[in-house]
Amino acid sequence: MAKQPARILVTGAAGQIGYALVPMIARGIMLGADQPVILHLLDIPPAAEALNGVKMELVDAAFPLLKGVVATTDVVEACTGVNIAVMVGGFPRKEGMERKDVMTKNVSIYRSQASALEKHAAPNCKVLVVANPANTNALILKEFAPSIPEKNITCLTRLDHNRALGQVSERLNVQVSDVKNVIIWGNHSSSQYPDVNHATVKTPSGEKGVRELVADDAWLNGEFISTVQQRGAAIIKARKLSSALSAASSACDHIRDWVLGTPEGTWVSMGVYSDGSYDVPPGLIFSFPVTCQHGEWKIVQGLSIDEFSRKKLNATAEELGEEKALAYSCLS
């Protein structure tokens, strides 16, 4: 085990997603089977005892790759020296809360965490925001951590991307590992646009277009899209709890592909700082198709966008513009 350990921060670590995520990280799923890790776990003081329970279990599991655990309610200690930050902590929406209330709470959290990360994380720290509203929390984080390169601040839409792959695989009765290159455009919300226009399936006779194989545009343009958009709610309805397992797993995929690179011929979806590509207004955290190499993501350029898709891209961009305005109004 010659590699130096990588320090990985998980905020909100005493919660459901944290509990699913930390054993995945400790087993090398996020950074590879040969990369030792040190976990930094942050949560709020009311969760301190539960957080310590998670630390105890990590010690109890005797993970060979896990070289240390820092479990703390102190954001400075949590952020010190971290190479990767997975921001799961946030204020959940409770019954009776207005969107503005949730936004206000989360905007303050992400503003202060931005500051701590900027001051104490390792240079070139890669940040993944999971807590909702993910895109806007990431945007706030970016705004208040100006010395963190904007390319290092992302949000999770890999869950939606994986959900889309899953839906296509079920529809076509193929292995999910044979489906690729769906795209999630925009906001990790119900305005996201799951796009299969460039998605393919590996068949014995080569790679074929998903749209062609499904041969049901009504489904692809209607039910498929709303199933993926609303999958989070469907999981809550079935489990009475939100999707921790799949969110944690997808967060590992997001980081792994970012750090270790995407396979040749394959792209993934990541919420990244928009640069005007595909006529999406710059200055938003917007989910795009990206490839990754040498630890950097790059938006896949030149994909054709039909009229149906154009409207969807515009709608989700518009929602993100509104969220941005709402967030800024909460800060003033």
Partner 1 sequence: MAKNPVRVLVTGAAGQIGYAIVPMIARGVMLGPDQPVILHMLGIEPAAEALNGVKMELIDAAFPLLKGVVATTDAQEACKDVNIAIMVGGFPRKEGMERKDVMSKNVSIYKAQASALEKHAASDVKVLVVANPANTNALILKEYAPKIPEKNITCLTRLDHNRALGQISEKLNVHVGDVKNVIIWGNHSSTQYPDVNHATVTTSSEEKPVRELVANDQWLNIEFITTVQQRGAAIIKARKLSSALSAASSACDHIRDWVLGTPKGTWVSMGVYSDGSYGIQKGLIYSFPVTCEKGQWSIVQGLKIDEFSRGKLDATAKELIEEKSLAYSCLN
The residues that are catalytic are 188
Contact present, 78 and 45 (Cβ < 8 Å): no
Please tell me whether residue 20 binds partner 1 under the rule CB under 8 A.
yes
Q: Which is nearer to partner 1, 117 or 247 (CB)?
A: 247
Joined together, the tokens standing for residue 196 give 């299969």
- CB contact at 8 A, 269 and 183: yes
Collapse the DSSP code of 149 into the 3-class scheme (helix H, G, I; strand E, B; otherwise coil) and give the result: coil
Instruction: Work out whether 63 is an interface residue with partner 1 (CB under 8 A).
Output: yes
Do 38 and 8 form a contact (C-beta atoms < 8 A)?
Answer: yes
Q: Is residue 58 a contact point for partner 1 (CB under 8 A)? A: yes
Angle, CA of 222, 131 and 140, to the nearest 5°: 105
Rounded to an integer, what distance in angstroms lies between the CA atom of residue 13 and that of residue 86? 10
Nearer to partner 1, 103 or 268 (CB): 268
19 binds partner 1 (CB under 8 A): yes
Shortest distance, CB of residue 115 to partner 1, whole angstroms? 30
Q: Which of residues 161-190 bind partner 1 (CB under 8 A)?
A: 162-163, 165-166, 169-170, 175-177
CA distance readout (Å), 279 to 42, 72, 272:
38, 43, 14
* Other beta carbons less than 10 A from residue 261's beta carbon: 15
Minimum CB–partner distance for residue 207 and partner 1 (Å): 17
Q: Is 35 in the site for partner 1 (CB under 8 A)?
A: no
Is residue 239 part of the contact set for partner 1 (CB under 8 A)? yes
Using the rule CB under 8 A, which residue among 234, 279, 295, 306 binds partner 1?
A: 234
- Output 112 or 203, the one with its CB closest to partner 1: 203
Least Å distance, CB 24 to partner 1, is: 7
